[in-house]
Each structure stands twice: as structure tokens, then as C-alpha cells.
Chains A and B, each alone.
Chain A
């Protein structure tokens, strides 16, 4: 069997080892044969057929896969062979979005290069009419199915070279394409973002998604070879890292150096290579409290910061943990934690551009990798890293995370230990549904990272019931109730959840009746709230009311324009009640004879709650928006509020000097505030202050209900009259 084989290629007599393909034999002897689907390091598949040669048989043979045979007479460049080859290129070009992304990026689309050398300018065949689509879901790789020629190079790169087994062919015939897992978007597949498919692709079907213009300038950009040594980057394509140079830097910090500050905006995450850091909240923990001031005319009321030792709000009594953007929570009473080598922080900031949730300071000499989101994506999808992160989470954070939910605070340690290996840690991409209304309820979810939008399907469209952030949970209603999901929960951004299977959840309920009771209470409250909201939308289908967003409101400050003299007493009263910062602006939309003043409407879709990095803004059961004690004053909610009704309220406080923690310094810290309805008092200050009885705080549906109904009836009456 061994030995060599003699054959001729293009008239040249050559000899090659047995088992050599025609393609390799030709290459070894300097005879180039073009190809699209073949790469030296991959198993040949012979699907593009561009490498066909005439071996004197009935049909041509694909040189990449056909082995040389003794005495074979191979012709690689006869006019009919070249003509057949060019037809194949022309066929592919007819469906190719020229210039494709690769051609635009680097000018090296292999198909377009072949077409150019074959002199195919404008393909004569009709173009493809049915779109094949693009997939923008991965953070690091752009997928353009339009440019795919089904050469299977990515498939072999993924499944054979890297053994990641994510990519395969899907569909059949002309509609066939490449698909990830069960043909889901790449970003929601099990893709580890190693980049092998992208470096294997001959066209612009899979290209590198470079984050344009945001290179991390300073710091020390490590070489791909060095990066690849790190276990968390195992299996990533070196070429891919080379392309993303500048999106990852190595940084050194001395003890005491601040790595990032709470409230700052950013776009990077940090991975600790060496040393340990302290994570803490530097803003004083406390909420704004109004007090009657005895002295002075103007300041009837003054605001100050009060923590729960001196002023407890009932829901907070059981609160022991503050959620932050790291794999740990901070204890409420001493909000400091330590992270060490192998840990990651700043994911939310990096993936979803939320403000930093805490300040991080080097405790020992520290080396970190700071990265942009395409690199973070690569790392997070790395199996080694993922496994390690999950292990750490189960070991350390799951317990505090569970206990951060007041309902579970009392759960015994042995049950937490039982859950430790049984829970699933799942990641969702923006827009992905986690549970769907009407589906069987089979699990309970804790939000670990990101925000979940809860919507209910109603005739005429979905309505947003709430947003859930870190530390929240969902899925209990379906499990406690009829076994079907009562709402749809969708990932609003990059969301990590802890999934507790239905059987474990039920076991927990049966073992701990107290937890069951609290959960049932919460479920009952939630369902009552949902019912109210839904009823509200059903009752008043009035266009104008809706377009003004008044529908969204639970409570409005109305100024009766027929009575109002524009004296501004209300505004002054509000400012007086809140340390000179008014939470009321006497401007706004008009509805009927009322001016809807700009003050918190206690919206039904509380956009202000989306993105709070520490989960400090929420609503009480009374629907009043409440800012938790650990607000870090980043101001995101004030920007998110579409009605401009949340403000940052500055306070002079003494805090430890970040540069020298033992020393206290005076500084200004901010806390978000909104209209609190002057809850401390019998009536809101603005309403109290109006000398003309023009200001009213009302629940819009009740207030406008009669008016709208009357209008509606009038309209019906008119119609009836005309039709006579």
C-alpha cells in the first residue's frame, strides 16, 4: 500500500505519496488550483466544486478530495474546465452582496477575488430574490447570511478544529444556510465566541465586530500569544484576538488606588489576574427624610439623610444585602466586600452601559485585565471561565443572593446547600423571552444580572407590568397558581438568572410554610396590582388620554386652569418642603381645563427603574416610587424618567477620604428624589399651599372617569342622531 504514485498533471509527470489528493499534488508541484471551500487544515468536503479538474472520467473531479491514482492524467486548465469553474463563481456572485463586509473591511473576500481574476464583472444570472438575513446578535461576530456560500469552512472550524459543535447546515437546497444550535441567533446560541468560524470564512458572512473608536488607549495591550495562555481565553482564535487588539489591556494598581468609582459611566469590565480589591459603596447609606424644622418661616420642612437605625421604612427592615455589579452582594450594614484573582466585576457597565454600582479600590498590588464588551463576550462564553464563574457563584454568592430576597432570608443553610448544585445558571440576550404567558410554569427565577421586563398579553397589545432587576424574582405566580405562566418575562438587556426547577421550588414550599406564606402574599399583591393596571387600560380607551401618557399615571398633580392665577405658590411650597429644590414644575401637558403639572406620575411603566445599577429605585405596594437607602446618586433614573420628574438632591456629608480611608472629608453626595407626595404630612405641600383651591392630587381614572364616560356617551348620541 505504501510507496508513491506516478501521474501527470497538465502534462507534467509527477510522483506523489499514495493518498495524496490531486489538489495537494498540484500544489506541491507549483500548479495552483483555485478553491473556495478547501483549507489545508480542514478535512476536505468538495462542496464548492471550484477546484474541479478533468481526470478523463465522465465528469470532472474535485481536486481537493480526490486522491491521485496511478497513471491518472489530470488537466487543471483546459478551456472547458476553466469555463465550468467560472460558471460556478458567476453563480455564487449572482447571489453575493458585493462588496461584502469582508471586502469592505479588508479587501480579501475570496469569492470576489476569484470573480475579479476570472473577469466576472456583472453576473448574467438572475439575482436572489428571497432575503437570507443578517444576525447581529453576537457581540463579537457579525453574521451576514447573504454573503454565505455554504463552503462549510465555519462548520469545520467550529465542530472539527475547535470541537465546539455549535454550527451546522440548516434547511435544504437553495434555502439552506448555516445555523447555530437549533438555528437560533448566534448571540443566544452556545457559541463561545472563539472566532474560529470568523477566521475560517472566505467571504463577509462572518466578520469581526470591532468596536469602532473605543480602543482602550492607555495601559498595556498584551500580545495574543500571552492572552491565549490564560485559561479563560483557552480555545480562542489568535487571529481573532489580533483583530481585537486594543479592546483588552492589562493594568497595574498599587494598594489604595481606585480602579473605578460608583456612579461613573463606563463601558469596560475588569478581570482580576493578581491581588485583591475592596468593593464598597462610598455614598452614605440613608434616605431623604423630611422633618418639621422648628425655626424659621421659610423652612417649614427640611430634608436630611436618615438611615434605618433612626427611621425604618417597613419594607426595608429585613433587607440585609445590597445588589451590585459583581459576583457578590454587599452587606447592608457594612457595604464592603473583597474580590480576588479570577473574579470579574463591571459586567453590567460593560454589557449594558449601566453606571458603576460601587467603588473598587486595590487592597494589595493588583493586576487586572480591562476589556470592552466584545472581549468580555469572548471571555464570558469561554467554557472554562463560565464553569469557574458558575462554581464560584454557587459556592459563595448563591446564598447571599437568595438571602438578599427578603422572602428567603430565613431559609436554613442545609436547604441552600441542597439547591447549590441543583439550580441552573442561565444567560439571556436582550429581547429573549425567559418565560411566556400561557406556557406551563416549570421553574422559579432569581435575577442575577440585568433587567427583566414583565408584560401581559391583552387584546390590543401587551402591557408592561413591571421591570425586575438584580435581587428580584419571578415565576412564583405560575407555580403557586394554576400551573400556567401569567405573564411574559423578557430580557431587557443581558440577563443572568438563577433557575430553580419547579420540583425544588415545591419542595421548598412544603418544607418551609413561612416562605410559602410570604410568597403567596407577594403573589396575591402582584396579581392585585396587575389586575388594577389591566382594568385601567380596559376602562379608558380614549386616544387623547393615552397619547398624553396620562394613562400611565397612578396619580397626577392637576392645576385647574380656570382657578389657577399662576401665583407659583405651589412651586415655592414644594421647594420649601424639600430643601429649596422643587420637585414640581408648573408646566406640562393640558387635558381638558387641567394642566398636568410636572411631578411624579407614579407611572405604570416605571422606566426610571430600568438600569439602576444597585437596584435602589422601586415602588412600594402603594405604587409610590421609593429610593432605597443605598442610592449611589449616579443619576440614571433622573435621565430615564420621560417626564423629568426625578431630581438629584445634593447633601453635604462627611465620608472617608478615598485616598486615605482613615481620614474623613466633607463632600457633596447626591441622592435621587422624586415627588414623595409629602407622605409625612396629611396633604402634599403644593396642594396645601394653593390659595385658590386650584391644585389637586388625583388618581386620574377616578377623576376623569366620569368626564370621559360623559364625552363618550355624547359621541354615541351624536352618531345616533346623524344616522336618523
Chain B
């Protein structure tokens, strides 16, 4: 077995203390500081930053209920309030938690760090009771539903013939050709930003020096985003192959899969695949018997949406607070430990061997309406069959929502959809005929983003949904820079007032000022997109916002005081 060498051991140390004591007692932290030769404030800075560490003894039942977008649509926030009231005065701590990545099986909650799906109020009470009665980790874990596996349509391999692309490139060593093929395919970053992959790999390849890294960002944490979970569950071999190819192209000898804390099943699946690759000589000092070396390890995120921001993710791997870096320099120039680093999303790595195995012709042929390629999208919220779908690019959103995901419930009407979680804003149902295509979406003033489609039917109040999304960003702000730390808070407060019917005459102007400052001056994408949800609602659902100011919530969701 290989040892972790590329990332900071600090979180493993903290987790070990927490496993023993249930939390991080001060004397243990002092001993740890001595042992790892770090100042005390360094330990405090991370232990207080990440939500999975307890600085005080936890309650017997630590309950975390998701209330973001899809879970909000499925009553997550009401469930949280119910549980808090139900267990008041008992050794139970019920709190909101940001998206657990179970949007297709909402609402989700975690009891003592075990995540449960499609939880009813009765389920939840019984789980908390079990925890209160002293259920062990194993007993709680046994009540979880294991992830369902389903085949990936575009997987080019038969189960016994995997890693064929890697095998041929290890023989030919035609790395320049590989980059050219990627460029020709038009593959771009599928985490949401859409940077051309071939260019990124070439950039790192051209950086001097022997120490480089390949990082797979498997930290999808944005509400609605569940596609990477699906890919990791069903095709870990393609992700691993993509990473090895990336490493060999860029000249990196080490790769790290940065996986979110809430995906223990996927961590296990990927680890199995990595172990298999080491066993079969696909990973290690002689990749497939060649003179090429590549090592791969998993880094489990200590938590938080901000860790998905690529430079924050690097900071986390270095054992620090996941605070985004000022850019430039970009990770391709100075990434992990200041070394050139390729960071790509799970889906991006996945598509590298798929495209190289199936070829450009397949890519072009598989798309619809002039778009090329396949895309994984998650559809959640008010639909009857939520899930992750592998669809041709160019498929209209309406088809994804109304056919694949079963549309809204009978008797309801399709009102709005968020094409890319909270960061993409909300579009009215009337715009659902736009195809799933980067250019088409840009023209429509939106983005394909991470393919996290969240649907709202006519029971949704769009101002309430905007508040829900802005609040998510507020909760996940790392606090590094002023516009995001203070701005997201003030904006959330302002929108909360609006939902109560208290919208001052000058508020829109104030919102415009705040929005401008946040978009323009925030260090990272999180701060820059905080105003997007409310901006989209003001653009497409202005009447609904204005009605609140008159004391009416048309959907009857908000507690408006006239």
C-alpha cells in the first residue's frame, strides 16, 4: 500500500483525535501542535473552519438537515424545524446543513454523520431516537441505503478490457497528439467554468520543473449537483484513467482525488479501483510496465462548498483554511505546494478516455441539433423521477425535465428551473426549450454550468427560492474577503426582509450597489455569484417580488406581514 505523501496530514490527525474523544479537546490539540510542530493558531484556524470538527463535546444525536434547493422543495426546512421542536430539551442538536449531495433523493439529513435519504418526519424521529438510545456507528450505517449502480452508456470498454486508451498512449507516448485530440474535441471543464481541457493540460506540460500534480475535483457540493457522484459510483475506472493520462501528459507523477466528505461510498469505490490499479501495475512506479510512474491517492475533504473552488481546494490539501487564493497565479502555474497543478472535474477526466477511445466522429454524431457530445445532468426538485441522466448535448431542457425526469406532479404546472444550481439563477418554464448547449445557454443569458437542474412547480415562491439560494452562498462564504463575507450576509438579511413584505423604497438601488461590488471585487466565484439568484428572479419574476412589497406572496409561501 502506498502512503499519502502529497497532502497535509493535519486533517487525518484531527480526525483521529475526534474518533477517540468525540471532539477535539484542547489538551489534545496542544499535544498535536507540539507533535506536528505547528503553532496553536494554525490548528484552531482549521478546526474552527471546517464543519466536521467539534471543538466541544457533541450532542448524543447531532442532526444535520439539508434545506437547500431540492431539499427545500421537499420540505427539508420544515423537517428541521419539526425535529428541533420535537427533541427540544434532549441531548439532540438539530442544525441546518448545506447540500449533502442527495438532491435526487430529497430530503436528506445526517445523524451523527451518517446520511439518510428521502427521509420522512417519522423516519427522522426514529433515527434520532436510535441515536439517543446509543446506536453504534455500525448500527446507524446499517440503516443507510447503499448507492444504486447503473451502467454508463458511453463507457467504451467491456469490463475486461479497460484502460485501453492508456495502454496505447503508454506505448506510443504521443502526448502532443493527445493534447491535439483533446483540443480538437472541444472538451472543456465540466465543473461549471468551461475552460478548454487540452489547453489546460498543455499549459501545465509546458511549465518547467519535475514536481507537478494532477487533482480530480470530486467535491461537487453545489445544490442540485449530483452528476459526479453518479460517475464515481458507476465508472471510477474512466476517472482514474483520465487522471493517469492527465498526469502523463502534464509530467506529473502524483494525482489526488479530492472527494467530498459526504461521499463515503464513492470514496470506497474509488479506493477499490485505485487498489486494483496498483495491483495490476496500472498505477505505481512502472505504469503498465513502462518507465513511466504515476501514483494516485484520495484526499477526503474536511467539508464545505468552498473547497470546490480550485484554489481553496489546494489550500485544504495543504492543511489550511479553504480560502481561495488571489489569482493570478493560476493553479496551472502555482498550484499544490506552489507547483504546477492540473485541476479538473470528475466528469472532465471521465470524458478524456471516452473521447479518445470513441473518436471525434462519435462525439459529433452523438450530439443533437449541431451540439457535440454527451453530458451528465442531475434533475431534481419538483419532478416525479429525479435522477442523473446521461444525455446528448443539444437536448432541450424541457425534454430533460418533462420526459426524462417525469415532469412536475399531476395537477401542478412547471413554473421555473435553475439550469445550474444556485449559481446559474432561475429561468422561467417558458425558456425551457433552450437546448443543453454552451453557446445557446450563453445567448439565453444563462449557463450549462455543472448541469444541476432544479425544477420548481407553481407552489414555489421565486423570491423565497432566491433567498434560499443566496442564503446557501452566505452559509458557505469562507469569510476571507469583505464583499462576500459581509455582503452575502447583508444581502441575505435584505431578502429575508423582502419575503416578510418589508422592502424599502431604496432597497433596489442598495441591492444594485451591493451586487456590483460583490460581482466585481470578490476574490473568487462564490462571492461573485452571490447576487445571481436574486438578479435572475428580479429579471424574470419581478411581479412576484413586487407583490411581496404589497404584502402578498402569490405562492402563499412567505409569511408576509402586510
Identify the A interface with B (CB < 8 A).
45-50, 52, 59-60, 62, 65-67, 80, 83-85, 87-88, 91-92, 94-95, 124-126, 149-150, 159, 165-176, 179-183, 190
Contacts and interface: CB of A to CB of B under 8 A. Distances in A.
B45 A168 contact: yes
Chain A CB within 10 A, most for which of B480, B510, B521, B528: B521
Interface string B505-539: 01000100110110111110000100000000000
A317 B278 CA distance: 77
B40 A88 contact: no
Contacts of B26: 182
B39 A88 contact: no
B472 to A, nearest CB: 12
7 contacts: A65-B326, A87-B516, A125-B510, A125-B514, A170-B44, A173-B474, A175-B479
Contacts of B522: 49, 59
A159 B45 CA distance: 13
A176 B39 contact: no
Contacts of A173: 474-479, 485, 488-489
A171 B483 CA distance: 17
B490 interface: yes
Chain A CB within 10 A, most for which of B475, B490, B493: B490
Contacts of A91: 482-483, 486-487, 490, 514, 517
B40 A181 contact: yes
B486 A126 contact: no
A177 to B, nearest CB: 9
A88 B476 contact: no
A174 B479 CA distance: 6
The 6 A-B pairs of least Cβ separation, nearest first, read A168-B41, A165-B39, A176-B479, A87-B517, A181-B40, A91-B486
B486 A174 contact: yes
A83 B44 contact: no
Given A95-B486, A125-B510, A174-B474, 4 more contacts: A92-B486, A166-B39, A181-B39, A181-B40
Contact of B41 (A46, A85, A174, A181): A181
Contacts of A159: 39, 41
Nearest to B49: A172
A49 B326 contact: no
Nearest to A166: B41
What interface size band does chain B fall in? Answer: 35 or more
Chain B CB within 10 A, most for which of A84, A87, A91, A165: A87
Nearest to B48: A170
Contacts of B493: 125-126
B360 interface: no
B321 A169 contact: yes
Interface string B289-310: 0000000000000001000000
B483 A88 contact: yes
B520 A46 contact: no
B30 interface: yes
Interface majority SS on B: helix, strand, loop or mixed?
Answer: helix
Contacts of A150: 479, 482, 485
Interface string B464-508: 000000000011111111110111111001100100000000100
B29 interface: yes
A190 B42 CA distance: 14
Contacts of A62: 326, 521, 523
B218 interface: no
Given A126-B490, A126-B494, A47 B41 contact: no
A124 B506 contact: yes
Contacts of B475: 173
B482 A47 contact: yes
A269 B478 CA distance: 45
A165 B41 contact: yes
B43 interface: yes
Contacts of A126: 490, 493-494, 497
A239 B471 CA distance: 43
Contacts of B506: 124
Interface in B23-66: 26, 29-30, 39-45, 48-49
A479 B516 CA distance: 64
Contacts of A88: 482-483, 517, 521
Interface in B519-561: 519-523, 528
B513 A83 contact: yes
Chain B CB within 10 A, most for which of A124, A171, A174: A174
A359 B476 CA distance: 62
A168 B39 contact: yes
Given A59-B528, A94-B486, A168 B44 contact: yes
A83 B482 CA distance: 15
Nearest to A49: B521
A49 B40 contact: no
A171 B50 CA distance: 8
Contact of B519 (A59, A83, A172, A176): A59
B289 to A, nearest CB: 41
A83 B487 contact: no
A167 B41 contact: yes
Nearest to A189: B40
Given A80-B516, A87-B516, A176 B521 contact: no
A48 B482 contact: yes
A33 B365 CA distance: 54
A577 to B, nearest CB: 55
A176 B487 CA distance: 14
Contact of B521 (A59, A66, A95, A124): A59
Nearest to B51: A172
Contacts of B43: 182
Contacts of A66: 326, 328
Contacts of A83: 513, 516-517
A84 B510 contact: no
Contacts of B45: 168-170, 179
Contacts of B483: 49, 87-88, 91
Contacts of A67: 328
Contacts of B321: 169, 172
Given A47-B481, A49-B481, A190 B40 contact: yes
A165 B482 CA distance: 24
Interface string B368-405: 00000000000000000000000000000000000000
A59 B527 CA distance: 12
Given A182-B30, A183-B48, A125 B490 contact: yes
Nearest to A46: B326
A294 to B, nearest CB: 66
A174 B489 contact: yes
A171 B43 CA distance: 12
Contacts of A169: 45, 49, 321, 479
Contact of A59 (B48, B482, B488, B520): B520
Contacts of B482: 47-50, 88, 91-92, 149-150
Contacts of B510: 124-125
A52 B326 CA distance: 12
Chain A CB within 10 A, most for which of B45, B328, B478: B45
Contact of A47 (B480, B494, B519): B480
A424 B488 CA distance: 47
Nearest to A151: B482
Contacts of B30: 182
B282 to A, nearest CB: 39
A622 B29 CA distance: 44
Chain B CB within 10 A, most for which of A95, A169, A175, A179: A169
B39 A174 contact: no
B326 A87 contact: no
B477 A174 contact: yes
B486 A172 contact: no
A436 to B, nearest CB: 12
A172 B521 CA distance: 19
A94 B481 contact: no
B516 A174 contact: no
Contact of B516 (A65, A84, A180): A84
Nearest to B479: A176
Chain A CB within 10 A, most for which of B482, B513, B528: B482
